[in-house]
C-alpha cells in the first residue's frame, strides 16, 4: 500500500474530520494503528507499525457494521488468502489477517509513492513506448495471478502503485476470486463488483469474470495512458455501461494522431467486446505487448503483418450482446449480475430510440414504446382466415433442387471449415512456464517443440518461457512445431577493473557489457599516466544491468608544482614552503661578503614548475670568511705590520697613541693578534 494515496477506491481522510477511534489502537496485540491514509467502499487503510518486527505496514480495516454480514466478512478474509498466494515483485504483499474484537483487518506491504492515476494526470497522453513500459509490470503481476487461478476483477490506475524508486506494484486483490469450473459464473451475491469504467461487457451483462475480464480492463488502462481519457464516458452510469456493451473502444490514434496502427490494433485486441477474441490471459497479452514494444524500439511507423495479426476479427452486430445492466441511482454499482431494461427505461442511453426492443436473457423481447409499431407483413392477407397462411404452390423440381443445394452447401461449407479452420489448432499460453512445463503443455496439445535462442528478461525468471513463435492464441496446424524462447533471467554484467587503462579502451570495455559512460571527471594523479582511468563509480566488481551509467575519473597526469623565487630570502622559509609542496631542497653553502649568513645566494631552477619529489638546488651564504689576525705585530715597525695584515686580507687603519714620539712602532692591535675577524675587515694599529 502507499502513504499519499491508496489504490483502493477511495480518498484520503480530511484533516478536519473528527479523531478516528482506531488511531492509536493496538490490533491483535501487534499492529499499532496510525493515521488513516485512504478510505474505500468496504474498508479503510491505515499506516501502522508492526511492533513485533519493527516495520511500517499498511493495515486495511473493514468498515464497522460490514463485519456483521458473515458472507461479506468471509469474502474479506478470502482476500487475504487469495493475495497471500501471490509472491511476485509487482504484487503488493499481504503479510497477515486477523479479527480483533470485531475489527477484521489485513496487514499489507507499505508502498511509499503515488498511484498510476497520478502519473496519468501528469503525463498523459504519453508516447506509446512509455505507456507500454508502465503496462508491462502490471501485466506481469496479473499473469502471475492468472497462473495461480486468480482473477483481480478490479484492474484500474488507482490499484497500481508506483514507489518512490520507480517500482510498480498491483494492489487490492480484494475482488480476486479463485477461477474454477463452478465459480466462473458467480457475481458475488447478485452485486457485480468492480469499477464501471473498466468493466468488461460480459461482466456488465452476465456477471462472468475470468482472466479475459482483467485483460479488458488492462486494455482500457492502456487506452487511458495513451490518450489521457477513458474510452467510454457518459452523463450517468447507465450510459457508460451501455457503451461498454454496445460500442467498441475507439482507436487511440483518433484522439492522438501519430500512434502507429499496430498500437491501435493491440488496444482493439485487448478490449474486444467478444471475449473470445481477446488474449486468453494476461500472460498472452504481455507477449503481444512485448512484440509491440520491440516494433516501437525499432522505430517502425508501420508494421502491416503485426497490425493484421493483432487486429481482432470483425463480429456481426447481430451476434453482439445487447442486454443492458440495471444500476441503482448514480452510484455506479450494478444491482444485479445481469438485468434487462424495458425500452422505456432506456431513454437517454446512447443510440436508443422509441422503437428499440431489448432482448431478455430468456429470449423474450422487451416492450416497445409504441403500441402501434408493427410490421405490415404481420397482418393477415386478404382472403385468408385469421391465424392461417396461404398454402404455397408446390412443384416437382423444388425438393430435388433443395436437396442438391443443401448437399452442395454442406460439402462446400465442410471443406471450407476443414481447410480454413478445423485442421488448425490454437497455440496454448505457455509464457512464464518452465521450459519443461511448456513443452508438456504444447505436446499435450498435439504440437511439436523447437528450442529458440534464449534471451534475457527483466520480468521473466531464468528458465521460464518469454515468448513463443507462433504466439499464444495463434492458429497452427496440428503437429507443427512451436519455437520457445526461454529466459536467461535478468541481463547482468560484472564491471571489469578499468584502472590504468586509456579512456578509449575503458569506453570499449563498458560498451561490451552494455554500460553507458556517465560523467567523466579529470583529476591529477602521481601514479596514473595522463589520459588513463584512475577509478570508476561504481567500483570494479559491481554487477550492472544493461544501460547502467558508469562514472569515470580520468588522470590529467602529475600535478605541476610552481617552484617560486627564493633568492635573497631566508633558507628556512624556502625549505618549509617546498616541503609543503612536495619538493626537495638541496643546499650548498659558501662565504659571501655581500649576502648575510642563511640567505639564499642563488637557486636552480629559479622559476617554472616541477613535480612532486623533484629537487630545487640552493646556494646559501655562510656570511664573510673569518681569518686569524697575524701575531708578532706588536713592537714591529709599521711598514712590516701593515704588510702582514694586508697579506692576510685585512685592511689597516693607523692611529697615533697618546705616547706617540714619532718612532712609528706598533704599540697595540685591535682586534688583537690571533683573534678571528672577517676577511677584508679593518684592523687598527696604534703607533708610538
Q: Which residues of 649-664 are buried (b: 16+ CB within 10 A; e: fewer)?
A: ebebeeeeeeeeeeee
Is 171 part of a structural domain of the chain? yes
599-611, pLDDT tens digit by residue?
999 999 988 999 9
- The mean pLDDT of the chain is 79
Count of positions (residues) in the chain? 688
Identify whether residues 541 and 651 lie together within a single domain. no
**Which grid cell sits at 249?**
473502444
Q: Which has the higher per-residue pLDDT, 333 or 167?
A: 167
Of 79, 111, 143, which closes a domain? 111
**Which grid cell sits at 300?**
517502425
| Torsion angle defined by CA atoms of residues 632, 638, 640 and 645, in that order, rounded to the nearest 10 degrees | 70
Please, which residues bridge with residue 36 across strands? 46
| CA distance linking residue 276 with residue 274, whole number of Å | 5
The CATH number for 518's domain is 3.30.10.20
Residue 359 has pLDDT above 80, yes or no: no
Identify whether residues 514 and 476 lie together within a single domain. no
Residue 252 has pLDDT above 90, yes or no: yes
**Which grid cell sits at 123?**
503525463
Q: What is the DSSP letter of 421?
A: I
Identify whether residues 253 and 301 lie together within a single domain. yes
The DSSP line for 454-487 is -B--SSSPTTBEEEEESPTT-EEETT-EEEEEEB
488-518, pLDDT tens digit by residue?
988 899 999 999 999 999 999 999 998 988 8
Q: Which of 154, 210, 214, 281 is catalytic?
A: 154
Residue 129 has pLDDT above 80, yes or no: yes
Residues of the domain holding 434:
424-486
| CA distance linking residue 472 with residue 426, whole number of Å | 7
Is 388 part of a structural domain of the chain? no
Q: Which residues contact 234 (CB under 8 A, 6 or more apart)?
A: 240, 242, 243, 350
Is 348 part of a structural domain of the chain? no
**Which grid cell sits at 82?**
487469495
**Which grid cell sits at 203?**
461482466
pLDDT of 569: 93
Please, which residues bridge with residue 584 across strands? 615
Greatest Cα pair distance, the chain, in angstroms, is: 194
pLDDT of 18: 62
What is the percent of the chain where pLDDT is above 70? 76
424-456, pLDDT tens digit by residue?
677 787 877 888 888 988 888 888 999 989 988
pLDDT of 407: 65
Identify whether residues 173 and 256 lie together within a single domain. yes
Whether a cis peptide bond, with omega within 30° of 0, leads into 538 is: yes
Question: Taking the CA atoms of the chain, what radius of gyration do you get in angstroms?
Answer: 48
Of 298, 319, 340, which closes a domain? 319
The CATH number for 88's domain is 3.30.200.20
Identify whether residues 46 and 77 lie together within a single domain. yes
pLDDT of 416: 54
pLDDT of 1: 55
Identify whether residues 126 and 98 lie together within a single domain. no
| CA distance linking residue 139 with residue 340, whole number of Å | 33
Q: Which has the higher per-residue pLDDT, 423 or 300?
A: 300
Identify whether residues 231 and 161 lie together within a single domain. yes
The sign of the CA dihedral 44, 49, 53, 57 is positive
Identify whether residues 599 and 584 lie together within a single domain. yes
Identify whether residues 550 and 647 lie together within a single domain. no
Average pLDDT for 251-279: 95
Alpha helix locations (H) across 497-551? 503-512
Residue 221 has pLDDT above 80, yes or no: yes
CA 150 to chain centre: 26
pLDDT of 366: 36
Residue 275 has pLDDT above 60, yes or no: yes
Of 586, 602, 623, which closes a domain? 623
Q: Which has the higher per-residue pLDDT, 72 or 138?
A: 138
Q: Which residues contact 285 (CB under 8 A, 6 or more apart)?
A: 139, 215, 218, 219, 270, 278, 279
Is 398 part of a structural domain of the chain? no
Residue 364 has pLDDT above 90, yes or no: no
Under the banding of pLDDT at 50, 70 and 90, the label for residue 672 is confident
Identify whether residues 596 and 651 lie together within a single domain. no
Number of domains in the chain: 6
Residue 16 has pLDDT above 90, yes or no: no
pLDDT of 342: 32
Is 363 part of a structural domain of the chain? no
369-415, pLDDT tens digit by residue?
333 333 333 333 333 333 444 444 455 566 676 767 676 766 656 65
Q: What is the DSSP letter of 334?
A: B
Q: What is the DSSP letter of 665?
A: B
542-591, pLDDT tens digit by residue?
999 888 899 999 999 999 999 999 999 999 999 999 999 999 999 999 98
Which of 531, 532, 525 lies closest to 499 in space, CA to CA? 532
| CA distance linking residue 298 with residue 651, whole number of Å | 100
Residue 469 phi/psi, 5° resolution?
A: -135, 110
165-213, pLDDT tens digit by residue?
888 999 887 554 433 333 333 333 334 445 688 989 988 887 777 899 9
pLDDT of 250: 96
pLDDT of 294: 92
| CA distance linking residue 470 with residue 245, whole number of Å | 31
Quote helix, strand, coil % in the chain, to nearest 5: 30, 25, 45
> Beta strand 682-687 with 666-670: parallel, antiparallel or unpaired?
antiparallel
> Across the beta sheet with 113-115, what order do the strands follow?
113-115, 160-163, 168-170
Is 409 part of a structural domain of the chain? no
SS3 state of residue 3: coil
Identify whether residues 645 and 498 lie together within a single domain. no
Is 344 part of a structural domain of the chain? no
Under the banding of pLDDT at 50, 70 and 90, the label for residue 72 is low
Catalytic annotation on 154?
yes
340-358, pLDDT tens digit by residue?
333 333 333 444 333 333 3
Query: In terms of pTM, does the model score above 0.75?
Result: no
Is 212 part of a structural domain of the chain? yes
Identify whether residues 314 and 188 lie together within a single domain. yes
Which of 83, 214, 77 lies closest to 155 in space, CA to CA? 214
Q: Which has the higher per-residue pLDDT, 80 or 616?
A: 616
Amino acid at each position: 500500500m502507499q502513504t499519499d494515496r491508496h489504490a483502493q477506491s477511495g480518498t484520503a481522510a480530511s484533516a478536519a474530520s473528527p479523531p478516528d477511534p482506531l488511531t492509536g489502537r493496538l490490533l491483535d496485540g501487534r499492529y499499532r494503528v496510525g493515521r488513516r491514509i485512504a478510505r474505500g467502499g468496504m474498508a479503510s487503510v491505515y499506516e501502522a507499525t508492526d511492533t513485533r518486527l519493527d516495520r511500517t505496514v499498511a493495515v486495511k480495516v473493514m468498515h464497522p457494521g460490514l463485519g456483521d454480514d458473515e458472507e461479506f466478512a468471509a469474502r474479506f478474509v478470502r482476500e487475504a488468502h487469495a493475495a497471500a498466494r501471490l509472491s511476485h515483485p509487482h504484487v503488493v504483499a499481504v503479510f497477515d489477517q486477523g479479527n480483533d474484537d470485531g475489527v477484521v483487518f489485513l496487514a499489507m506491504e507499505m508502498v511509499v509513492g503515488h498511484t498510476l492515476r497520478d502519473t496519468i494526470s501528469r503525463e498523459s497522453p504519453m508516447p506509446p513506448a512509455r505507456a507500454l513500459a508502465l503496462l508491462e509490470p502490471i501485466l506481469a503481476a496479473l499473469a502471475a495471478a492468472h497462473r495461480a487461478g486468480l482473477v483481480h476483477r478490479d484492474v484500474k490506475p488507482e490499484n497500481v502503485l508506483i514507489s518512490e524508486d520507480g517500482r510498480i506494484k498491483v494492489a487490492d486483490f480484494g475482488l480476486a476470486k479463485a477461477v474454477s469450473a463452478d465459480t466462473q459464473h458467480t457475481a458475488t451475491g447478485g452485486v457485480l463488483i468492480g469499477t464501471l469504467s473498466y468493466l468488461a461487457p460480459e461482466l456488465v451483462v452476465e456477471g462472468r469474470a475470468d482472466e479475459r475480464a482483467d485483460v479488458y480492463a488492462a486494455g482500457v488502462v492502456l487506452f487511458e495512458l495513451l490518450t489521457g481519457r477513458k474510452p467510454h464516458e457518459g452523463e450517468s452510469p447507465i450510459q457508460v455501461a451501455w457503451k461498454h456493451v454496445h460500442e467498441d473502444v475507439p482507436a487511440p490514434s483518433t484522439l492522438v494522431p501519430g500512434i502507429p496502427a499496430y498500437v491501435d490494433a493491440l488496444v482493439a485486441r485487448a478490449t474486444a467486446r467478444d471475449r473470445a477474441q481477446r488474449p486468453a490471459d494476461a500472460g498472452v497479452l504481455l507477449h503481444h505487448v512485448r512484440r509491440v514494444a520491440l516494433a516501437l524500439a525499432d522505430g517502425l511507423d508501420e508494421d502491416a503483418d503485426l497490425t493484421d495479426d493483432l487486429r481482432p476479427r470483425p463480429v456481426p452486430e447481430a451476434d453482439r450482446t445487447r442486454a443492458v445492466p440495471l444500476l441503482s441511482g448514480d452510484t455506479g454499482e450494478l444491482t444485479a449480475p445481469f438485468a434487462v431494461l424495458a425500452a422505456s427505461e432506456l431513454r437517454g442511453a446512447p443510440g436508443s430510440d422509441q422503437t428499440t426492443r431489448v432482448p431478455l436473457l430468456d429470449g423474450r423481447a422487451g416492450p416497445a414504446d409504441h403500441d402501434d409499431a408493427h410490421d405490415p407483413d404481420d397482418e393477415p392477407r386478404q382472403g385468408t382466415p385469421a391465424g392461417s397462411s396461404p398454402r404455397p404452390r408446390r412443384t416437382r423440381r423444388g425438393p430435388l433442387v433443395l436437396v442438391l443445394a443443401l448437399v452442395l452447401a454442406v460439402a462446400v461449407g465442410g471443406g471450407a471449415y476443414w481447410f480454413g479452420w478445423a485442421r488448425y489448432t490454437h497455440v496454448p499460453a505457455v509464457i512464464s512456464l518452465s521450459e519443461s512445463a511448456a513443452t508438456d503443455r504444447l505436446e499435450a496439445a498435439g504440437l511439436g517443440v523447437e528450442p529458440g535462442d534464449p534471451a534475457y528478461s527483466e520480468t521473466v525468471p531464468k528458465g521460464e518461457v518469454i515468448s513463443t513463435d507462433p504466439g499464444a492464441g495463434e492458429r497452427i496446424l496440428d503437429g507443427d512445431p512451436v519455437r520457445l524462447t526461454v529466459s536467461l533471467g535478468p541481463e547482468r554484467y560484472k564491471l571489469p577493473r578499468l584502472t590504468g587503462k586509456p579512456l578509449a579502451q575503458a569506453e570499449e570495455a563498458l560498451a561490451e557489457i552494455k554500460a553507458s559512460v556517465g560523467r567523466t571527471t579529470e583529476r591529477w594523479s602521481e601514479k596514473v599516466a595522463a589520459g588513463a582511468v584512475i577509478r570508476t563509480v561504481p567500483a570494479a566488481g559491481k554487477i550492472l544491468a544493461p544501460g547502467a551509467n558508469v562514472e569515470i575519473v580520468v588522470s590529467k597526469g602529475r600535478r605541476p608544482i610552481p617552484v617560486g623565487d627564493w633568492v635573497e630570502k631566508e633558507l628556512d622559509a624556502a625549505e618549509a614552503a617546498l616541503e609543503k609542496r612536495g619538493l626537495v631542497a638541496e643546499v650548498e653553502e659558501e662565504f659571501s661578503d655581500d649576502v648575510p649568513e642563511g640567505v639564499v645566494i642563488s637557486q636552480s631552477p629559479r622559476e617554472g614548475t616541477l613535480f612532486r619529489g623533484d629537487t630545487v638546488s640552493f646556494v646559501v651564504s655562510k656570511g664573510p670568511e673569518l681569518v686569524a689576525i697575524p701575531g708578532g705585530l706588536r713592537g714591529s715597525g709599521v711598514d712590516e705590520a701593515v704588510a702582514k695584515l694586508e697579506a692576510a686580507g685585512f685592511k689597516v687603519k693607523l692611529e697615533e697613541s697618546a705616547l706617540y714620539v714619532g718612532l712609528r712602532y706598533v704599540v697595540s692591535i685591535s682586534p688583537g693578534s690571533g683573534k678571528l675577524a672577517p676577511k677584508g675587515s679593518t684592523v687598527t694599529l696604534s703607533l708610538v
